[in-house]
Amino acid sequence: MLAGEKLQQFKAFISNTSREEQVWMNGYLTAVITGQQAATAPQAAKKITIAYGTETGNSKKLATSFAARAKKEGIRTKLVGLDQYPAAALSTEEYFLTVISTHGEGEPPEAAKNFYDHIHKNGFKIPQVKFGVLALGDTAYPLFCKTGEDVDRQLQQLGASRIAPLQKCDTDYEEQAEKWFTEILQKINKESTAEVPAVNSVPVKKAATKQVYKGSILSNINLTGRGSTKKTYHIEIATEAPYLPGDSIAIVPANDLLLVQEIISLTGLAPNREITWRNETVTVEELLSQKAGIVYLLEKTVTQYAALAEAPIPAQRSDLAHLLRNYPLKNETQYETVLQQLTPIAPRIYNIASSPVAHEGAVHITVLQDLFTVNETVQHGLCTAYLEQKKPGDEISFFVQPNKRFRLPDADKDIIMIGPGTGIAPFRSFVAERDATGASGKNWLFFAETDFTTDFYYQAEWQTWFSTDVLTRVSLAFGNSSEEPFEIQHKILQQAASLFEWMENGAYVYLCGEKDPMSKNAEAALLSVIGQEGNMTDEAAKQYFETLKTTGRYMKDVY
Amino acid sequence: MSNKKLSAVEHIKTASKGLRGTLEQSLGDEITGAVREADHALIKFHGMYEQDDRDQRQERAEKKLDKLYSFMVRLRIPGGSMTAEQWIAANHIAGDYSTGVIKITTRQTIQLHGILKHQIKPTLKDFDKVKLDSIAACGDVNRNVACASFPAQLPVHEQVKAYADKISKMLLPKTRAYYELWLDEEKIDEYNETDPLYEDRYLPRKFKIGIAIPPNNDVDVLTNDLGLIAIIENGELKGFNIAVGGGLSTTYGNPDTYARLATVIGFTDTEEKTLKAVYEVLTVQRDFGNRSDRKLARLKYTVDNMGVDAFTAELEKRCGFALQTAQPFEFTERKDETGWHQDYKGNWHYTLFVENGRVTDDETTALKTALLEVAETKKSAFRFTSNQNIMLTDIAPANKELISSILSKYNITTQQENTSALRKNSMACVALPTCPLALAEAQRYLPSFIDKAELLLAKHHLSANDIILRMTGCPNGCARPYAAEIGLTGTATGEYNLYIGGDREGLRLNRLYREKLAEPAILEELDVLFGAYSSKKQEGESFGNFAIREKLVVND
């Protein structure tokens, strides 16, 4: 325990450090305590970001080959297109390398426009950033490499320091570019010679079950392209809630406020009237807005209402407002009784799509808009409707639902991930985590959806992982690309030989998504694969599959 | 020849194993709708361009989706003629796999846009069923051969048209790659294929051939790398004048690039000699063209670098005969005569103006449906013109009424009659959203621009004037803007360079008049120019000639 001034200094110091630095200090102190301190002062793990702004694809190609090289050398590397890059993230970068071309008459490529404009704004500084700019251009144009020059100059004006001088390249850029990057790698390696505590070894605080966390929405985007038949939202929530890849979060959606107001006025009860509901005392407004389900009531609740109202109400699911409008009750006591009979809003569970290492300080989820029909009108699922309206800055409450039966294996093990539809979410978490921690195991993704052009969730990210060899194989099934039905099970069967080979080599198999019929079809296909490729009887194949389950090499999370 | 390092595309070509490259693997890459980078260059030789929907780029990036890639397939149709059966097939293929629009190009062929990677094979297989292919429709090879497209007034016109087919066949690459890759023909050992013309390097750049029949220069013959001008006397084909080194593409900010009209270098009087000369022009270009800088690789630069005389001498050496002195010829116009015309056999032809060459059904006219109905009668063949229009051809006198009634039923006849001269004489390239080179709109914008320009012409009593106006979204010249009386080339979103002073016959390029104008400024300039032209023009003087005489631009 530190006392007095020491504690003050320590707290002041800690408050100025990033989470990553704290993780490092934790490892450093552990090493000091156990007497394993390295001879030289250890430094934090090097993290570089390589961002490309491309018009013809050359910048992307070059940046991708750089990233693959850096990863091979064990450097934590993030590869990102400038069109995908949140410019505000510059303030969190350590090494920031950019490969950028010049378009037309000295203009930045379309894809880099936002980034280019951002760094030309005043009012912020990024002194911690070490940067390098590789500019691609064509000497046939008068303003050769102008965009690269601009970016290089602006980053310096923002207080960042150059790790290497601006490198301008003509159309035959390969050799110069390689040389430039080799020099940068050498510098980075020189700056980080000491061993570092592995990120993995830091114990993650166990999430206390049901601890409610608050987070604020960072972004909420519909992942599907124009013309898609569905809406699937990618929601990022800023939070310090601890979690592991494979976990889910549970969200209790709030009811629609206008509907709540209408119900209150239909009952005539005072909004702040306190009533007892399931062993707690709450106000009418609180109950209706945050605690109790008011749409699509259970059949049982409707029957109870019918008894109270002494009315011939059909025993089927219905909305509270509909009942109140059509079958008014007699007095306040009856209205209060009705409210007391309401059941709690069920929390909705979503697989976490982010990695605590790669997406520090945030939880991402993938939410399919839920549409269903009641009494011939299309209704929105309560929770998806609630989430759909969330805007950046809005608050949201949730708790973490750990899933010990859906965990990544050791870093050197291969994994096969089968996740059609939003079942893809935990696998984005898996691969991002394995990318960020440099896990050496191979990764194979199976995904299925309706339309390749509009419904391939996180396509650009999978492509980046694929081009840097993090993602080893991808097998996709899109319904409308063939006349025959083509679903996940067909793709599994198509890949039988390789799948079985991976299983035989010890791969872990994961399945996530819809329970019925998807998971059943997928499991039946896996069984055929085993039987067919292993020359086994049905019984033997079942036994093989059973062993995968009991040894923890087959894990599923279906709903 | 240049000693400089070969450009990247040159290495791709020679390493391509007969244009196969890694196209087969590219088709199997599930994670992307694109082909691999090197295949990007190779797939052009198979008649396709990889494109993406630029309107959706930013939006898709935010959605973490890759660009929306698709392919444009362009057919090889020498001389632009098609049977009714082929049109029916194209109509259905367009509906099944592409955006549905059939685009008539400025080189007498058609192209379909928006074909996804997995739809390429079904598309090409369906075309193959009606004997159509897209071989060498793009790429560093001889492209679709264009030929004058008015109805044959004389038997000799058909004789000239036959050359388009012969030349196209003679200059096809010898590789079977197209049949293997797209039509599942059994693989052969590619190393046994030899191609004496293209070898393994193909040409340094695209190569275009056009054949004109004076006095109409509808094919814009001098804008081609190689132009053949038919010399006809007393209804007999005497031979062809040979013109080399035309080409319009330029690059903004690169002063070494320029538009150039072909130079007439001589005359050949037999079929054998004509074909030989054509062939050897390609071999000279193959051996002397610039292979290090693709922006300076067209035949026009080869001709100027060598000098016209040295080029001709090299050509004659390879031919084994000297070219004769070029024969006199005269062009008087470049437009398509729309409406009904009769050929020498008495058959009827109906030339139909198609705005921007886009055959589709829109709010006002069901053109695509009408043409399908015409084709289904099997009483008419189809032909495309270099002005992006369509001809319904070879209609027997007995069937004229039937075809005419279909056109009336769909209101086509009236719509044609109500189309202004300016609109009929205008063209635009594809540009946004699919063309990767476009800096500004063209085909999506031209119709509304013409609406405004028509008002100016009406104001100055020039509505009947056949002014040729062409617009492109970049300086590469696909809609031949530099060979127009008014040329507009996009420089940035909503901005265009304005060129004037080209002649009506296609023998003089225009000149840059104003730079980087937005629409209001363009209209203001045109208002002033039309005003001056209307009040000061001489009898029969075209707008382009007026601009030169008045020294509005310098004719150097």
Distance CA A295, CA A301 (A): 11
Strands (E), A111-189: 130-136, 161-162, 167-169
Q: Tell me which chain B residue has its CA closest to the CA of residue A481.
A: B118
What is the value of pTM for the model shown? 0.83
pLDDT at position B160 over 50: yes
Q: Which chain A residues have a beta carbon less than 8 Å from that of B64?
A: 84, 221, 223, 234, 457-461
Task: Tell me what pLDDT residue A41 has.
Answer: 39
Across chain B, what does the average pLDDT equal?
Answer: 95
Q: Which chain A residues have a beta carbon less than 8 Å from that of B58?
A: 83, 110-111
Distance CA B463, CA B443 (A): 22
Name which of A232, A217, A557 is nearest A363 in CA terms: A217
Query: Are B255 and B234 in contact, with CB atoms under 8 Å apart?
Result: no
Task: State whether ipTM is beyond 0.90.
Answer: no
Distance CA B160, CA B156 (A): 6
Tokens of B255: 């002063």
Task: Tell me what pLDDT residue A73 has.
Answer: 81
Q: What is the mean pLDDT of residues B144-157?
A: 92
Q: What is the mean pLDDT of residues B321-332?
A: 97
Task: Tell me what pLDDT residue A371 has.
Answer: 77
Task: Tell me what pLDDT residue B3 has.
Answer: 58
Tell me which residue has tokens 């059609």.
A420
Q: Which chain A residues have a beta carbon less than 8 Å from that of B31?
A: 459, 462-463, 466, 474, 476
Q: Which residues contact B169 (CB under 8 A, 6 or more apart)?
A: none
| DSSP one-letter code for B147 | E
Q: State pLDDT tens for residues B167-191.
A: 999 999 999 999 999 999 988 665 5
B49 beta partners: B72
Q: What is the mean pLDDT of residues B150-162?
A: 92
pLDDT at position B100 over 60: yes
Task: Tell me what pLDDT residue B412 has.
Answer: 94
Task: Tell me what pLDDT residue A166 has.
Answer: 92
Task: Tell me what pLDDT residue A381 has.
Answer: 80
Q: For every one of its 559 residues, what pLDDT tens digit does chain A have, with 9 covering 90 and above?
A: 666 677 677 676 777 676 666 655 665 554 455 444 343 334 456 789 999 998 777 888 889 889 888 888 888 888 888 888 877 788 888 899 999 988 777 888 888 888 888 888 877 888 889 999 999 887 767 678 889 999 999 998 888 999 989 999 887 788 889 999 999 888 888 876 544 333 333 334 443 447 889 999 999 999 999 999 999 999 999 999 999 999 999 998 889 899 999 999 999 999 999 999 988 999 999 999 989 999 889 899 999 999 999 999 998 888 999 999 999 999 999 999 999 999 998 889 999 999 999 999 999 999 999 877 666 667 778 888 889 999 999 999 999 999 999 999 999 999 999 999 999 999 999 999 999 999 999 999 999 999 999 999 999 999 999 999 999 999 999 988 777 788 999 999 999 999 999 999 999 999 999 999 999 999 999 999 999 999 999 999 999 999 999 999 999 999 9
Phi and psi, residue A221, nearest 5°: -125, 150
Q: Does A61 touch chain B (CB under 8 A)?
A: yes
Q: Which chain A residues have a beta carbon less than 8 Å from that of B68?
A: 225, 453
Q: Do the chains contact at B61 and A460, CB–CB below 8 Å?
A: yes
Active site positions of B, annotated:
74, 143, 206, 208, 429, 435, 474, 478
Distance CA A361, CA B240 (A): 76
Q: Do the chains contact at B64 and A461, CB–CB below 8 Å?
A: yes
Q: Kindly report the nearest CA distance between residue B62 and chain A, in angstroms.
A: 6
Task: Tell me what pLDDT residue A36 has.
Answer: 44
From the number of C-beta atoms within 10 Å of its C-beta (0-12, 13-18, 19+), residue B307 rates as exposed
Distance CA A57, CA A74 (A): 26
Q: Does A144 touch chain B (CB under 8 A)?
A: no
- Considering only CB atoms, A84 lies closest to which of B30, B61, B293, namely B61
Query: Are A478 and A452 in contact, with CB atoms under 8 Å apart?
Result: yes
Task: Tell me what pLDDT residue A207 has.
Answer: 39
Task: Point out the least confidently predicted range of A172-181, A388-397, B96-105, B361-370.
Answer: A172-181
Which helix H or strand E contains A347, and what residues bound it?
Answer: none
Distance CA A522, CA A531 (A): 14
Phi-psi region of B477 (alpha: psi -120 to 50; beta: other; left: phi over 0): left
